[in-house]
């Protein structure tokens, strides 16, 4: 009696093994091709990143250069307009005086736009110097009050600064903070036809202070509030169309607040007014400051 043969089974193993090896080889080839594609894609992305960085640097240098070049003629226009308005070289007719005020106003707007462009270019290039120091908020408010007093032309609007109460000294860059608040106050005065603009500061948590500029102006619709701090963003309203600006001021405020370790925001109701605010740490962390001075 003979035993059953397994020759048929054994004969099938080499064929299956060859098929498996062929499949593995095919998968390895596909994987190598995919890896070559990924490497090529990374190289392309790196090249695009380099080109984008060069374009950004070129834009920043262009903005900085043009801003510097614009300042001289703009300052000349403002100076000449001031001389004519003051009638240093002789009297003006009422119509001439009115036209010179228009020229002066346009020159001021242009000068502010140039300053904003230059500051944004410096921030993008990482060339903004932060110089923190200890200071009292009452001194900051006093300086702002004196700065805006001669600029209040609309008698229907009052500008007030609430006296800070039980607030500590701040260790931050007071010039950058003042620049943020100046933008907030200027916007509030521009878009408030009657009522008041009020500046206040209060403790927000244990180690932060919130500065607010509250107005009774035109307000901002909810759908527009998220975009007001974007570059060149403007709210579409009749007053906005009449008082057209560049939309750079609030974007600059957002950038400056970030450099000071804080953030900006807005609360508003259409037709009833707005509150623009910046929240900053009481003491700016030295590790976050590119250029620091020792605290006094």
Q: Tell me, yes or no, whether 32 and 120 share the same domain.
A: yes
Distances, alpha carbon 219 to alpha carbons 5, 184, 222, 273, in Å = 94, 13, 10, 4
Q: Are residues 219 and 196 in the same domain?
A: yes
User: Which range marks the domain in which residue 262 is found?
Assistant: 133-288
Answer yes or no: is pLDDT of 39 > 80.
yes
> What mean pLDDT comes out for the span 230-243?
55
Whether residue 79 is found in the same domain as residue 183? no
Give the mean pLDDT of the chain: 82
Residue 219: CATH number of its domain: 3.30.565.10
On whether residue 293 sits in a domain, the answer given is no
The region of weakest confidence among 103-112, 120-129, 204-213 is: 120-129
Does residue 154 share a domain with residue 259?
A: yes
Cα–Cα distance, 23 to 27 (Å, whole number): 6
Q: Are the CB atoms for 156 and 194 separated by under 8 Å?
A: yes
Position 132 pLDDT exceeds 60? yes
Residue-wise over 248-260: b if at least 16 C-beta within 10 A, else e?
Answer: bbbbbbbbbbebb
**Number of separate domains in the chain:** 2
Do 13 and 74 belong together in one domain? yes
Rounded mean pLDDT of 14-36?
Answer: 85
Domain-embedded: residue 7 = yes
Asked whether residue 294 is assigned to any structural domain, the reply reads no
Question: Is the pTM for the entire model greater than 0.75?
Answer: no
Is residue 41 in a domain?
Answer: yes
First to last CA, the chain: 109
- CA 62 from chain centre, in angstroms, equals 19
Percentage of the residues of the chain whose pLDDT score is greater than 90: 32
pLDDT band at 230 (very low <50, low <70, confident <90, very high): confident
Q: Which residue is listed with tokens 């950004």?
A: 56
């Amino acid at each position: 009696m003979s035993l059953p043969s397994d020759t048929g089974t054994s004969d099938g193993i080499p064929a299956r093994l060859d098929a498996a090896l062929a499949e593995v080889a095919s998968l390895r080839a596909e994987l190598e091709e995919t890896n070559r594609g990924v490497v090529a894609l990374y190289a392309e992305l790196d090249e695009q990143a380099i080109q984008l960085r060069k374009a950004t640097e070129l834009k920043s240098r262009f903005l900085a250069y043009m801003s510097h070049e614009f300042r001289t003629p703009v300052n000349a226009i403002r100076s000449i307009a001031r001389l004519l308005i003051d009638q240093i070289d002789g009297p003006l007719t009422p119509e001439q005086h009115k036209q010179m005020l228009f020229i002066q106003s346009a020159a001021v707007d242009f000068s502010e736009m140039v300053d904003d462009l230059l500051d944004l270019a410096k921030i993008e290039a990482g060339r903004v110097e932060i110089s923190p120091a200890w200071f009292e908020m009452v001194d900051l408010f006093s300086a702002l009050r004196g700065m805006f007093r001669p600029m209040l032309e609309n008698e229907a609007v009052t500008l007030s600064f609430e006296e800070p109460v039980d607030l500590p000294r701040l260790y931050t860059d007071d010039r950058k903070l003042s620049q943020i608040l100046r933008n907030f106050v200027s916007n509030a005065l521009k878009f408030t036809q009657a009522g008041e603009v009020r500046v206040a500061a209060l403790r927000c948590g244990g180690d932060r202070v919130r500065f607010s500029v509250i107005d009774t102006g035109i307000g901002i619709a909810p759908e527009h509030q998220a975009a007001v701090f974007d570059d060149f963003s403007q709210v579409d309203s009749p007053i906005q169309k009449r008082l057209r600006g560049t939309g750079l001021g609030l974007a600059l405020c957002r950038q400056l607040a970030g450099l000071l370790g804080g953030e900006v925001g807005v609360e508003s109701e259409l037709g009833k007014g707005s509150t623009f605010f910046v929240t900053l740490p009481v003491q700016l962390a030295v590790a976050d400051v590119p250029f620091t001075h020792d605290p006094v």
